[in-house]
Chain A
């Protein structure tokens, strides 16, 4: 009995989605834990999607799109790259493990690479375990006495 991570992948239609399709038609074996959500471009990927995935039970997230200079909409992935770079560090600052979120460039012809990304991400998240500490439940901490401020351990009953 092992823990099977739930991973959500936000991928761009023109490159990674096509690449993933290629991986499938080429019968490349890969971990079945990833649920793919197709978007027109990585530029459309709002960082809220990543948070929403964690809110709704994902243990890991993959975000993938066209290589720089290959974006179907010319510059969507450049904007996305900056946004992801900043948000990734912000998430880490707040305590979300960066190993749970994988960012990649996978082109339409890189079926093999997609399989690698999927397998690596799944293994990584499997090792980290379920993401139980993300605030998922609609609970509100109220009146519980805590140690003052810093270094408070994660309290499961709030989550």
Chain B
């Protein structure tokens, strides 16, 4: 942490940045922090409660963040994939942001979690993570960490759904999605949902009805899953943010599986690798076409 604070202070003193986005302690646990001067850098921390994906704040749509000026951002290796996505899709120029990579051995799911990191409270996104520090970074701070201890099978529920028949699946999804109140928290916290005008907000015609009934909710969640196919970085923020406790990650991870199986693509923190939707190959599979 001291390393992080010293680096932050140095960046301010050398006028390399106008503001820094990291984490700080608050009344209950940990939250994102915007630091604007060298003497505020002691607020910065990094520990197992730093689950938030700060790349979400880099969207150009957040004019009040853009107005701060040149930003430095503290990122874990999972967050770096989102930053890479923003760069890849021309929402951010690499040289406009200073990336402070932090060594990470896993985080807990709940930023107010008082306990130590152990396998029972490790965030699902950490399970199986093999990248201890981001490759996409200007600086790396933190002590070396070991791999996260979680051993949950992240895709157990996914496989369970795939073993159901179609009627059961439809019944399950109508059920799960019926809790959705269309608050769009999933969209707002997602770094890859940066559209100035989301298709769900379009009326005349309303392709995706904004009403939180099963018809509208189906259209919304299926469309979002498709729009994120190959782009979702699997940070789990949408699931964490959902006030209705809907397991949104299932849809996104299914889409990721499809894209991986068909196009050999897994999300990466290398911005130069093109994403699979929006590109094509002449020999793409078409066995499902007549």
A-side residues, CB < 8 A to B, are 46-48, 51-52, 55, 68-69, 75, 78-79, 81-98, 102-105, 117, 120, 133-142, 146, 149-155, 158-159
The answer to whether A151 touches B164, judged by C-beta atoms less than 8 angstroms apart, is yes
The 6 closest A-B pairs by CB, nearest first: A95-B170, A95-B169, A141-B178, A135-B214, A154-B171, A78-B280
CB distance from A16 to the nearest CB of B (A): 11
The answer to whether A79 touches B254, judged by C-beta atoms less than 8 angstroms apart, is no
Given contacts A81-B280, A95-B167, contact A51 B219 (CB under 8 A): yes
Given contacts A82-B263, A86-B258, A104-B289, contact A138 B215 (CB under 8 A): yes
Besides A75-B280, A89-B258, A137-B213, 13 other A-B contacts (C-beta < 8 A): A48-B219, A52-B219, A78-B281, A83-B277, A91-B222, A93-B162, A95-B168, A102-B290, A103-B288, A140-B178, A141-B179, A150-B172, A151-B168
CB distance from B262 to the nearest CB of A (A): 6
The answer to whether B167 touches A133, judged by C-beta atoms less than 8 angstroms apart, is yes
Q: Which residues on the A side are within 8 Å of B218 (C-beta)?
A: 51, 94, 135
Question: Which residue in chain A gives the minimum CB-CB distance to B168?
Answer: A151
The answer to whether A94 touches B169, judged by C-beta atoms less than 8 angstroms apart, is yes
The answer to whether B166 touches A153, judged by C-beta atoms less than 8 angstroms apart, is no
Question: Which residue in chain B gives the minimum CB-CB distance to A93?
Answer: B254
The yes or no answer to B175 lying at the interface (CB within 8 A) is: yes
The interface bits of chain B over 253-281 (1 if a CB of A lies within 8 angstroms of the residue's CB, else 0) are: 01100110011000000000000111011
Q: What CA separation (Å) do A47 and B221 show in the bound complex?
A: 12
The yes or no answer to B208 lying at the interface (CB within 8 A) is: yes
Q: Which residues on the B side are within 8 Å of A134 (C-beta)?
A: 170
Question: Which residue in chain B gives the minimum CB-CB distance to A63?
Answer: B289
The yes or no answer to B198 lying at the interface (CB within 8 A) is: no
CB distance from B288 to the nearest CB of A (A): 6
CB distance from A71 to the nearest CB of B (A): 11
Q: Which residues on the B side are within 8 Å of A139 (C-beta)?
A: 213-214
Given contacts A48-B219, A81-B284, A103-B288, contact A159 B212 (CB under 8 A): no
Question: Which residue in chain B gives the minimum CB-CB distance to A120?
Answer: B290
